[in-house]
Structure 1
Amino acid sequence: MSTALETVGVAARRAGWDSLMAGFVPGLPTLEQAVLDTAERLSGPPRRVLDLGGGPGLFAGRMAARWPGARIVLADIDPVLLALARDGLPASVTVLPTDLADPGWPARTGTGFDLVVAVMTVHYLAPESVWSLYAGVRRVLAPGGLLVVADVMPDDGLPTVMRALDPAPPRTVLTPAASGSVPDAAGLVPAAAGFVPDEDEFVPGRAGLAWSRWWAELADDPSLQDLLAARADIFRDRPPAEFTAGPAWHADAARAAGFQETGLLWRSGRHAAFAAH
């Protein structure tokens, strides 16, 4: 960054994105804590981490702070979010333009990752691309590595409850992983992940309005016009797929890719974190 004002602007926009995600994902801090603690309990602090669809890199930044010796790769397709990530993250994080709908994406990221995360990413992709994503992650993971996919993932066995929780889940529920589905070290959400009885700040309508306002503020910034134009070109013919399969679908995709153990690490309303190992 060339001036302090520009640096402050990047920090403010990234902080605004953090607030946006907290509005869309009830209990987001507990989700991130569950991922961090589980990864460490499984095999110690990871040396290489891949953040798929990492946006402006808020979670990547927190992983870099937690694991200062780790090399982290953030992959995303959005040029605006990639620019915010590059300007806001430490040198230990590599930021890569990557199209996860392209089955060849693993060639860009490299291999040998101990942890791969995809938080609020797969709902943008078509089902066949998500299925392919699991195969790609399997190729880039180091032996014994962990994948965590967190997104809207309603419980197929509780359709009435899931409908009641949509659009505004009033409470946060954390669940243990399926019995025998993940290693004992990651069998339960760590106590540090906590239990949040009320998520008053999670109001989807309000979150959607905040989303529109955040992008509108960027549209008024002359320095971002080229990036915004490039973003419009990318997404003009590829709107979000709004893919929201349940855990059973994700388990089938993961096992077809060669993962032996699957299960949920965390749930909050219709959102869940699915792990594969």
Structure 2
Amino acid sequence: MGMSTATATRWVERWEHQQQRYAVDREERFEVITDLVEHVTHGRPTPLVLDLGSGPGCLAARIADRLPAAEVLAIDADPLLLELGSAHYGAALRYVEAVIGEPGWLDALALDRPVDAAVSTTALHYLGTETLRRVYRELADRLRPGGILINGDHISPDSTRVCELAVDIGRRHAERNATSSREDWDSWWTSAAADPELAPLLAGRAAEGRPRCEGNDLTLSGHVALLREAGFEHVGAVWQVGPSHVLAAVR
């Protein structure tokens, strides 16, 4: 028997609340990314959109809601998060389990046409610089001319002093707009482990382990350089609050 919709909804809603602790002005960032996808796919009958490191698909679902004719893939390495999203959002999304950056990871997506937009939020900073270089190049090869890659993430300004200022601005902004939730990443997973309906998927997650987190310390200009090297012609930040950026790269 599959996971109940009620269970999935409860845990996805809790996921949304705890994620607000880690992304400055998360809802506004989601709106900006969705606006960009809508702009670039305007007039295309069935846009193909990838959400990289989607978790349960919170951003992907917002894009699918805005663009009901689009095919939106939610791509993540975690089977529990994908199952939660599938049970909560249903057929609006196509869920794919894949480790971004691993050799052949794009083959798991079974893409049948060029991609119109690839988006990611608070996920690609887990990749090492060389892995990210390869992923940017691979995505550039799969995007159609005029297609877009959008990365919403913690990306530091180039100046150390400006970075310090941005972090402080982000902290102040978060404090002024704080939610009532006290749950964080660790407490969410601890609580999920106590739910018997999630136990089978959590057991599988523990056995398989999580992808290795390499991490990178790329600044804004570092990301821009990698994207230009990958073949993106137009690259730049289109939104920023503190250290949180939305970086757009057009093929």
Q: TM-score, normalised by structure 1?
A: 0.80
State the identity %: 28
Q: Residues 177-200 of structure 1: CA distance to partner in whole angstroms, max 9, x if unpaired? A: xxxxxxxxxxxxxxxxxxxx9743
Give, in angstroms, the shift of residue 168 of structure 1.
Answer: 7.4
C-alpha displacement of 1:20: 1.6
> Does 2:233 align with 1:260?
yes
Residue aligning to 1:201: 178
Change (3 A) 1:41 1:210: same
Aligned pairs for 1:97-176 (under 5 A) are 97-109=97-109, 110=111, 111-157=113-159, 159-166=160-167, 169-171=170-172
Alignment of 1:178-197 (within 5 A): none
Query: d(CA) in 1 for partners of 2:169 and 2:78?
Result: 28
Using the alignment, how far apart are the partners of 2:43 and 2:126 within structure 1?
29
In the alignment, what sits opposite 1:96? 96
Measured in 2, the distance between the counterparts of 1:162 and 1:38 equals: 26
Task: Give 5+ residue unaligned stretches, structure 2.
Answer: none
1:90 is paired with a residue of what secondary structure?
helix
8 Å CA contact retained: 2:61, 2:92: no
| 1:20-39 mapped onto 2 (5 Å cutoff) | 20-39=18-37
In the alignment, structure 1 segments of 5+ residues that lack a partner are 173-196
Partner-residue secondary structure (3-state), 1:115: strand
Preserved CA contact (<8 Å) 1:73 1:94: yes
Relative to structure 1, the CA distance from residue 233 to residue 244 in structure 2 (aligned partners, 3 Å threshold; closer, same or farther) is farther
Map of 1:232 onto structure 2: 206
Range with greater deviation from structure 2 (246-255 or 31-40): 31-40
Question: Kindly tell me: are residues 163 and 232 of structure 1, through their superposed partners in 2, closer, same or farther at Cα, counting changes over 3 Å?
Answer: farther
Aligned residues of 1:103 and 1:132 also touching (Cα < 8 A): no
The yes-or-no answer on 1:87 pairing with 2:87 is yes
**Residue by residue, what CA displacement relative to the aligned partner does 1:125-158 show, whole Å, maximum 9, x if unpaired?**
222111111011112212211110111101013x
Evaluate the alpha carbon distance shift between residue 164 and residue 93 of structure 1 in structure 2; reply closer, same or farther with a 3 A threshold. same
TM superposition shift of 1:164? 4.2
Q: Give the counterpart letter for 2:163 in structure 1.
A: M
Change (3 A) 1:45 1:80: farther
Whether 1:216 and 2:216 are equivalent positions in the alignment is: no
In structure 1, distance between residues paired with 2:43 and 2:218: 30
Q: Which residue of 1 aligns with 2:78?
A: 78
Q: Distance in 2 between matches of 1:199 and 1:103?
A: 43
Q: Is the 8 A contact 2:49 2:71 kept in 1?
A: yes
Counterpart of 2:91, as a letter, is A
Distance 1:45 1:212 in 2: 43
1:193 counterpart residue number: none
Moved more, 33-42 or 66-75: 33-42
Cα-Cα RMSD = 2.5
Counterpart in the other structure of 1:246 = 219
Q: 1:60 is matched with which residue?
A: 60
Contact 1:26 1:199 in 2 (8 A): no
The alpha carbon displacement at 1:246 in A equals 1.2
CA distance in 2, matches of 1:256, 1:78: 30
Task: Indicate the larger mover: 68-77 or 104-113.
Answer: 104-113
Q: 1:244 to 1:8 in 2, by over 3 A?
A: farther
Rate the CA distance shift 1:250–1:234 in 2: closer, same or farther, 3 A: farther
Deviation at 1:244, TM superposition (A): 3.9
Contact 1:117 1:148 survives alignment (8 Å): yes
Question: Hey, what's the Cα distance between the residues in 1 that align with 2:221 and 2:103?
Answer: 22
Number of positions where the alignment pairs a residue of Structure 1 with one of Structure 2: 246
In the alignment, residue 207 of structure 2 is paired with which amino acid?
D
